[in-house]
């Protein structure tokens, strides 16, 4: 089992709809969770971080964390073509001595 798992996609969502990206992690003791966006040929940029169970909202983005089920998700409301990118889930695993572990990313495509 991978430490951080994401569906590679591509996930295709119509413009204006909600895009839902999911990520599961293996280490139950993990405390810090991040979502990064990476456009093709560019480096990742931080979208959100979340540490506590529940939802965290920032503009059109909502991160959801469920530690009991070991998953973290990212919702993008009112999806725009500019949201088309690869989304990387990252987790600081309790067992990894503070090393951040990245998932392989989910490719999201917003169709006009």
E runs forming strands in 11-70: 11-14, 19-25, 32-38, 45-50, 54-58, 61-66
Q: Considering only residues 44, 47, 89, 110, which one is a binding residue for other proteins as defined by CB under 8 A?
A: 44
For other proteins, give the closer residue by CB, 32 or 70.
Answer: 32
Q: Considering only residues 70, 71, 100, 109, which one is a binding residue for other proteins as defined by CB under 8 A?
A: 100
Please, what is the minimum distance in Å from the beta carbon of residue 8 to other proteins?
A: 10
Torsion sign across C-alpha atoms 55, 22, 46, 30: positive
Q: Considering only residues 42, 53, 77, 111, which one is a binding residue for other proteins as defined by CB under 8 A?
A: 42
Q: Which of residues 55-84 bind other proteins (CB under 8 A)?
A: none
- Of 46, 31, 33, 26, the C-alpha closest to 87 is 46
Stretch that binds other proteins, among 20-28, 46-54, 66-74, 75-83 (CB under 8 A): 46-54
30 Cβ neighbours under 8 A, 6+ residues apart: 67, 91, 92, 93, 94
Please, what is the minimum distance in Å from the beta carbon of residue 36 to other proteins?
A: 8
């Amino acid at each position: 089992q991978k430490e951080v798992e994401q569906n590679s996609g591509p996930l295709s969502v119509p413009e204006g709809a909600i895009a839902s990206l999911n990520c599961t992690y293996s280490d139950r003791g993990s405390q810090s969770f991040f979502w990064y966006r990476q456009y093709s040929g560019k480096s990742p940029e931080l979208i959100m971080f979340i540490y506590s169970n529940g939802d965290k909202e920032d503009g059109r983005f909502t991160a959801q964390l469920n530690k009991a089920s070991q998953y973290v998700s990212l919702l993008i409301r009112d999806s725009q073509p500019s949201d088309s990118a690869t989304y990387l889930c990252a987790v600081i695993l309790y067992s990894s001595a503070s090393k951040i572990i990245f998932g392989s990313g989910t490719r999201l495509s917003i169709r006009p």
